[in-house]
Structure 1
Amino acid sequence: MRGPEAGPPQATEKRQRAERRGHFAEYLAAAWLMAKGYRVLAMRYRTKRGEIDLIIRKGDLVAFVEVKARRHEGAALDAVSYGAQHRIRAASEVWLSRRRDGGRLSYRYDVVAVLPGRLPRHFPDAF
């Protein structure tokens, strides 16, 4: 039996499909970034303050990456709202504070757009 907060079955199925699509996009983005020479340090890093889809590193540079699966690049970039940026920045502060070398690392915030029928598009320093 479903609880009252679960919503109609169609909404739950739609949400589950979107979640699966998002996870698949994150794996594609991670593979693409590894091919570009980055190391994936974490996927779906969660804190009370926010979540980061991917944390990647190349040398002393760490990038906190938001992955968006959309039909167009512009839609992917537009989908990273100010609120989402704030939550990602807050979560990154937690991650950095938990690392011994956190104060010595350079970091930035990237977006990867996963588009149908195309290779992922990496936007370094997107926000």
Structure 2
Amino acid sequence: MAAEARVRAFRLGLGAETRAAWALRLTGWRIVARRFAEGPAEVDLIALRGRTLAFVEVKARADLATAAEAVSERQQRRIRRAAEAFLARRPVYAGYVVTFDVVLVCPGRWPKRLPNAFGF
């Protein structure tokens, strides 16, 4: 039973990431990486628009308020570490503006991007 719940949650997360990626693409962003991981550091999406590189956490919940509250301090540290690892291996992005965004995904609603949701 617990395994089924994990599989269901995993699929929900993948679907939310796909919706978030399409919403970003339709607003001019190019997806550079999905599910980037370096050790325990992980970020859902990395997107590029102009000279801005966004490290994006996707949260799928029943409503926007619950989704917005779901990014913990621990997750923020994990995303920052992933950003550091990504940038260290890709000097081509040196000098780009880096943002940490959150995309909230709720049933029946267009994904909502929260730019600069937390700092470096």
What is the TM-score normalised by the length of structure 2?
0.95
Percent same amino acid among aligned pairs? 45
Which position in structure 2 is the counterpart of 1:110? 101
Aligned residue pair count: 118
Gaps of 5+ in 1: 1-9
Any idea what the Cα deviations from partners look like across 1:62-118, whole Å, max 9, x if unmatched?
000000111111211211000000000001000011112232111010000111111
Letter in 2 for 1:112: V
* Mapped partners of 2:98, 2:111: distance in 1: 21
Letter in 2 for 1:110: D
Larger radius of gyration: 1
Any idea what the Cα deviations from partners look like across 1:34-63, whole Å, max 9, x if unmatched?
000000000000111411100000011000
Matches within 5 A, 1:12-91: 12-91=3-82
Letter in 1 for 2:3: T
- For the residue of structure 1 that corresponds to 2:21, the secondary structure is helix
What is the TM-score normalised by the length of structure 1?
0.90
Which position in structure 1 is the counterpart of 2:110? 119
